[in-house]
Amino acid sequence: MPITPLPDPDADGAPPRPLADGIDRLLKGLGAPPVPVFTVLAEQWDQVVGPAAAPHCRPGGVTEGCLHIDVAEPAWASQIRWQEADIVRRVAELTSPGAVTRVDVRVGRRR
């Protein structure tokens, strides 16, 4: 059976789109924020949760505005829950308002 080649994506004369645009559309369809939000969470985590808490927790993902934070100890879960408004504000300052609107803390999932 012969293999049919795929059409040339530039055949219509349109310039190629950046890969990030496609990834952002995919993430939006999954209820996740754009790539820059994940970059900030990974690279500036200590600024998001504070330098004391950062070594004891990690971002577990963002779904429909909810930042999931994984912690090993219940005491850190309480601390993060207490800081929820500050965390949401810091993420908005570092990315964009509305990227994270609430926080969900999960105990025992930290690796």
Q: What is the mean pLDDT of residues 30-53?
A: 84
What's the confidence (pLDDT) of residue 56?
A: 95
* Structure tokens that stand for 82 in this block: 């207490």
Is there a domain that residue 64 lies in?
yes
User: Which structure tokens are listed for 109?
Assistant: 């999932």
The reply to whether 10 falls in a domain is: no
Q: Give the containing element (helix H, strand E) for 63.
A: strand 57-63
Domain of 39: which CATH number?
Answer: 3.30.300
Q: Is residue 6 part of a domain?
A: no
Q: Is residue 25, in this structure, part of any structural domain at all?
A: no
Mean pLDDT of the chain: 84
Q: Could you tell me the CA-to-CA distances from 83 to 31, 48, 55, 109 in Å, in that order?
A: 24, 10, 16, 19
pLDDT of 110: 47
Does residue 111 surpass a pLDDT of 70?
no
Task: Answer yes or no: is 91 within a domain.
Answer: yes
Q: What is the pLDDT of residues 49-103, one digit of tens each?
A: 999 999 999 998 888 889 999 998 999 999 999 999 999 999 999 988 888 999 9
Beta-carbon contacts of residue 86 (< 8 Å; ≥ 6 apart): none
Q: Is residue 74 part of a domain?
A: yes
Please give the torsion angle defined by the CA atoms of residues 90, 94, 100 and 105, in that order, rounded to the nearest 10 degrees.
-50
Could you give the number of structural domains in the chain? 1
pTM, whole model, 2 decimals? 0.71
Of 41, 47, 44, the C-alpha closest to 69 is 41
CB 105 within 8 A of CB 77: yes
Supply the pLDDT for residue 63: 85
Domain assignment present for 14: no
Range(s) of the domain holding residue 88? 33-107
